[in-house]
Amino acid sequence: ASERLAEQESDYLRTLQQRVEERTHEFEEANMRLQNEIEQRKKIEKELAERAAEEAVTADRTRLARDLHDAVTQTLFSASLTAEVLPDLWDLDVEEARRSTEELRQLTRGALAEMRTLLLELRPSTLTQTRLSELIKQLCEAFIGRSRLPITLNIEGECELPPEVQVAFYRIAQESLNNVFKYARATQVNVNLFLSPGSAHYETCDNGIGFDASRNKPTSLGLRIMHERAEAIGAELQVDSKPGSGTCVEVTWNASPNRKLRVL
């Protein structure tokens, strides 16, 4: 009886061991299938990310090509027309020829500034490697070449700003000037930039048709983006405008007390 019991126990242990081995093998196969599925999903995610990146690059190139055609090409075309009539103008009307020469200078400088602005979109790191004052001058020259409107530019002070602050100020200035070009119907634009260690202030003011700022706040995408950029760096953005009274966009930033900035 004891031998039979020992034999039954041995058979049970063998059966149990066999079942454990079978279950272990099943788990190993399931784990392998799971690993293969994870690897496959990672591969698909990588391909999707690469495709999305390629589509983003293509979209950027398409936008830049459109901007190049809309801005630079038209400016250069206007410059070429002015250059063609200049020789005859000098014989007919010296004063008009001088005005056209100045216009030609503004057009060519504007086209060059527009090209540099577009290159900044291809190399965003340049936005933090160039002084904000130079970037603002570049935006103004591009605006003059594109719109033929005069800009009174005033820059006071110079200091190194945190990268995120400099980029935000540049984008806000860019958006405010684009809004003047598209909507203001202005004849004069004033741009002011004041820099000092620990603070920065920028403003774009025009004498255009203006708008009801209180009603446009919740609906205007451009205004909302400017407000979001200002809030992201802890700055205050103010838009003052009334119908028929022009528009003034101001952004003011002050560094935290423990943040030290370098004077350039």
Tens of pLDDT, residue by residue over 244-260, are 999 999 999 999 876 55
- Residue 236: its pLDDT value, please? 96
Residue 171 · residue 206 · CB < 8 Å: no
Region of poorest pLDDT, from 49-58, 107-116, 142-151, 159-168: 49-58
The most confident of the ranges 24-38, 84-98, 169-183 is: 169-183
- Residue 260: its pLDDT value, please? 52
- Residue 43: its pLDDT value, please? 85
- Residue 132: its pLDDT value, please? 96
User: Taking 70 as the threshold, does the pLDDT of residue 61 lie above it?
Assistant: no
- Residue 67: its pLDDT value, please? 63
Question: 110-140, pLDDT tens digit by residue?
Answer: 777 777 777 777 777 888 999 999 999 999 9
CATH number of 123-264: 3.30.565.10
Rounded to whole angstroms, the Cα distance separating 174 from 113 reads: 13
- Residue 218: its pLDDT value, please? 44
Rounded to whole angstroms, the Cα distance separating 241 from 35 reads: 61
Which tops the pLDDT comparison, 110 or 205? 205
- Residue 110: its pLDDT value, please? 78
For residue 246, is it left (φ>0), alpha (ψ between -120 and 50) or beta? Answer: left
Question: In 10 A of CB 113, how many CB atoms?
Answer: 23
pLDDT confidence tier of residue 209, bands split at 50, 70 and 90 = very high
User: Which H helix or E strand runs over 192?
Assistant: strand 189-196
User: Taking 70 as the threshold, does the pLDDT of residue 40 lie above it?
Assistant: yes
Residue 230 · residue 239 · CB < 8 Å: no
- Mean pLDDT (the chain) is 84
Rounded to whole angstroms, the Cα distance separating 249 from 237 reads: 7
Question: In 10 A of CB 261, how many CB atoms?
Answer: 17
Average pLDDT over residues 5-20: 80
Percent of the chain whose predicted confidence (pLDDT) is above 70: 88
236 backbone dihedrals φ, ψ, rounded to 5°? -115, 125
- Which are the contacts of 34, defined by CB distance < 8 A and separation ≥ 6? none
Percent of the chain whose predicted confidence (pLDDT) is above 90: 37
Domain ranges in the chain are: 1-111, 123-264
